[in-house]
Amino acid sequence: MNWPLRQDTAFFPPVAAPRVSGHLDCGDGHQIWWELTGDPAGVPVVVVHGGPGGAIRPYYRRLIDPDRQQGVFFDQRGCGQSLPAGALDRNTTPDLVTDMERLRAHLGFGRWIVLGGSWGSTLALAYAQAHPQRVAGLVVSGVYLARAFDQWWWWQGVGHVFPEVFAARDAWLPAAERSDPRGAFLRRIRDPDPAIHREAAHVLMMAEGQTLDLWPVAPGEDFAEITDGAVRSARIFAHYEAHDYFLAPDQLLRDAARLAGIPGAIIAGRSDMCTPPQSAWDLAQAWSDARLHIVPAAGHRWNDEQLCRPIIAELARLTGAG
């Protein structure tokens, strides 16, 4: 889904096309798509998209200062323009961490700033904990720590804020399975029969799109149809969710000490219903080198000007431009 920008004053000007792009062969059947924008001599900022199963979006380029930073964008395994599309084999969090390090070496960067939002924050944290010596700075928003609480909140907790949306979602399930919507939807989305997984993905996507934050659904955010790409995205999401994101319980908080010495920022929208500010708070208690911003009038997505103002400001600080 290409969400429209809600406001347009905080972002850098649109970038029509990347400066250079290509596929990087991962050596195991996967090829990840990457792009560079901005100043070739600028500080590299790698942008980690959400999902799992998302993709880089053109408006992400507008988070990067074209005069001082070099934007590095990539589609994770099976996502966007990466090949093979929708592939689940050898598609795990450790694989994605390895891909990021492979991409950094391929592009010749000694260190880079890492920016991740939503699931991208999860992967950004996992990468930074695995390769702290390669991270010049770390900015995460919409923090998702993949704990049991975080999964419960996404599947059931937010339904206390949007009871009518979740009631409509769960009404699609047989009555006997409604007490465990996570298990019921994951079984169907992972089912090999397109007639089953496509409809389940559509129902889940409609509910998610209406509950990411407290803002009304905006024009252009239409969930009446589901594309083949959205189905692939949902199946990648279900693959990761069913395996607890290929992380040990509480791994990202447990290993937060590995972030010591990395300057960074944690940014949460007060109205973010997908990844509530509690997760950002918990991470901030474990990572003392990060600045915590809880933004009163902000939601979850990177099309939100209020959320992106501190993201852009923190990237400028870490770049040395602010």
Query: Would you list the domain boundaries of the chain?
Result: 20-147+248-319, 149-245
Cis peptide before 192 (omega within 30 of 0): no
C-alpha–C-alpha distance, residues 267 and 207, integer Å: 24
Residues 6+ apart with CB under 8 A from 108: none
C-alpha–C-alpha distance, residues 165 and 144, integer Å: 22
Q: Is the dihedral of CA 304, 309, 315, 316 positive or negative?
A: positive
Instruction: Indicate if 106 belongs to the active site.
Output: no
Cis peptide before 52 (omega within 30 of 0): yes
Instruction: Indicate if 271 belongs to the active site.
Output: no
Q: Which CATH architecture has domain 20-147+248-319?
A: 3-Layer(aba) Sandwich (3.40)
Per-residue burial over 41-74, b if 16 or more Cβ lie within 10 Å, else e, is: ebbbbbbbbbbbbbbbbebbbbbbbbebbbbbbb
Output 238-241 pairs: Cβ under 8 A, ≥24 positions apart: 238/185, 238/186, 238/189, 238/190, 239/52, 239/88, 239/91, 239/190, 240/51, 240/52, 240/53, 240/93, 240/119, 241/52, 241/151, 241/182, 241/186
Q: Are 24 and 102 in contact (CB under 8 A)?
A: yes
pLDDT reported for residue 4 = 46
Q: Which of 65, 75, 272, 282 is catalytic?
A: 272
Instruction: Indicate if 118 belongs to the active site.
Output: yes
pLDDT by 10s per residue, the chain, length 322: 444 444 557 899 999 899 999 999 999 999 999 999 999 999 999 999 999 999 999 999 999 999 999 999 999 999 999 999 999 999 999 999 999 999 999 999 999 999 999 999 999 999 999 999 999 999 999 999 999 999 999 999 999 999 999 999 999 999 999 999 999 999 999 999 999 999 999 999 999 999 999 976 654 555 667 899 999 999 999 999 999 999 999 999 999 999 999 999 999 999 999 999 999 999 999 999 999 999 998 999 999 999 999 999 999 999 995 4
pLDDT reported for residue 191 = 97
Count of alpha carbons within 13 angstroms of residue 66, beta-carbon side: 13
Under DSSP, the state recorded for 92 is S
Q: Which of 118, 141, 233, 279 is catalytic?
A: 118
Q: Are 144 and 251 in contact (CB under 8 A)?
A: no
Q: Which of 49, 233, 300, 304 is catalytic?
A: 300
Q: Are 72 and 45 in contact (CB under 8 A)?
A: yes
- Name the strands in the sheet holding 290-295, side by side, starting at the edge strand that comes first in the sequence: 20-25, 31-38, 69-74, 43-48, 112-117, 135-141, 264-269, 290-295
Please name which of 28, 18, 36 lies closest in space to residue 104, comparing C-alpha atoms: 36
Beta-bridge mates of residue 21: 35
Bridging pattern class, strands 31-38 and 69-74: antiparallel
Whole-number CA gyration radius for the chain: 19
Q: Which tokens is 246 given? A: 């290929």
Residue 24 sits at φ, ψ, to 5 deg, of -110, 120
